[in-house]
Amino acid sequence: MAKKITKLKMFQYRIEYIGVLLALFMLDKFSLARLTSMTRGCSNVFFALNKGRRDVAIDNILKAGITDDYGEARRIARDSFAHFAVLILESLKTANEFTEDNWLDKVEHDIPDETFELLKKEGQGLILVSGHFGNWEVAGQLISFMKPVLGITKDIKNPYVNRLMKERKPRNNFRITPKQDKDSGRFLRAIKDGEVLALLADQYASSRGIKLEFFGREASTFTSPALFHLISKAPIVFGYCLRKGPMQYKFVTTKPMNFKPSGNRIEDQKLIMSTLNGLLEDAIRLAPEQYLWGHRRWK
């Protein structure tokens, strides 16, 4: 049963909606440099005021072994908050920056020939796995210039803002579907139809996941990438989009991975997800400021 929205909550949603409309108006009127400066300033204020989320980020960084110095962990956490805010800003500006014809020239990329061929091959489905690192939104948009992409997202609680952002976000050939999609076969059909199924593999999975190590700490991990791979036989590619500067990125992928079933599906899932966890750890160590440390990956 859907939770009833109170009048006070609805009033809050409308105020938030007006604030988002104002932000989008500014997005179209001001330069990227000015908007980035304003966005970072707002992020720093949020970091200073939101003690709970700030402490989660700092604790995660320390326990992950990124650094053992509290001051450095706090700096990384603050920069991570700013990175996330700028990520959203730049994701909304890509339509004016990248096209099907120019993105390979404007974006530094390290894509193995084997992966590049799969992306160009018509009718070849692919599972692209990443995490909340770099700019995963831009990554999906760039790949969609080569092959249609289906991404999975969690709806924003505010229904007005949720509808607005879905209408506003540039798509190219990038479609998104709710995490709790009632049509459970949509994902496998996308792979069968030769699309890229884009998945973020580092959300907390509660009792629905399997417990695997992530930065040396046990974390409940979703097995969706492994299950889709084992069922569809489509290759898995791990990738990320590292931010190098204002609207400047480096897009990196692995070679296609194919895991041979052993007959023990649980162990197969553990092997696949442990491999993906390790690849994400390696990427994060390159630029820890670009990881979303504030989310509760470990509970």
pLDDT in tens, 16-25: 778 777 777 8
By DSSP bridging, strand 217-221 and strand 210-214 are: antiparallel
Report the range out of 6-10, 128-132, 293-297 with the highest average pLDDT. Answer: 128-132
Residue 171 is assigned to a structural domain of this protein: yes
Confidence of residue 180 (pLDDT cuts 50, 70, 90): low
- Residue 285 has a pLDDT of 97
Residue 237 is assigned to a structural domain of this protein: yes
- Residue 170 has a pLDDT of 52
Residue 149 is assigned to a structural domain of this protein: yes
Q: What is the pTM of this model?
A: 0.89
What residue has token string 């084997």? 114
Domain count, the chain: 1
Q: Which long-range contacts (CB under 8 A, 24 or more apart) does 59-64 make?
A: 60/293, 60/294, 60/297, 60/298, 61/288, 61/293, 63/215, 63/217, 63/298, 64/215, 64/216, 64/217
Print the domain residue range for 149.
Answer: 7-290
Quick: pLDDT tens for 249-271: 999 999 999 999 999 999 999 99
% of the chain exceeding 90 in pLDDT: 65
- Residue 1 has a pLDDT of 44
Residue 295 is assigned to a structural domain of this protein: no
Residues 59-75, mean pLDDT to the nearest whole number: 97
**What is the phi/psi pair of residue 41, to 5°?**
-65, -45
Residue 46 is assigned to a structural domain of this protein: yes
**Average pLDDT, rounded, for the chain:** 90
Report whether 129 contacts 252 (CB < 8 A): no
Residues 32-37, mean pLDDT to the nearest whole number: 90
Quick: pLDDT tens for 52-65: 999 999 999 999 99
- Residue 214 has a pLDDT of 96
One-letter identity of residue 90: E
pLDDT greater than 80 at residue 139: yes
Residue 79 is assigned to a structural domain of this protein: yes
**How many residues in the chain?**
299
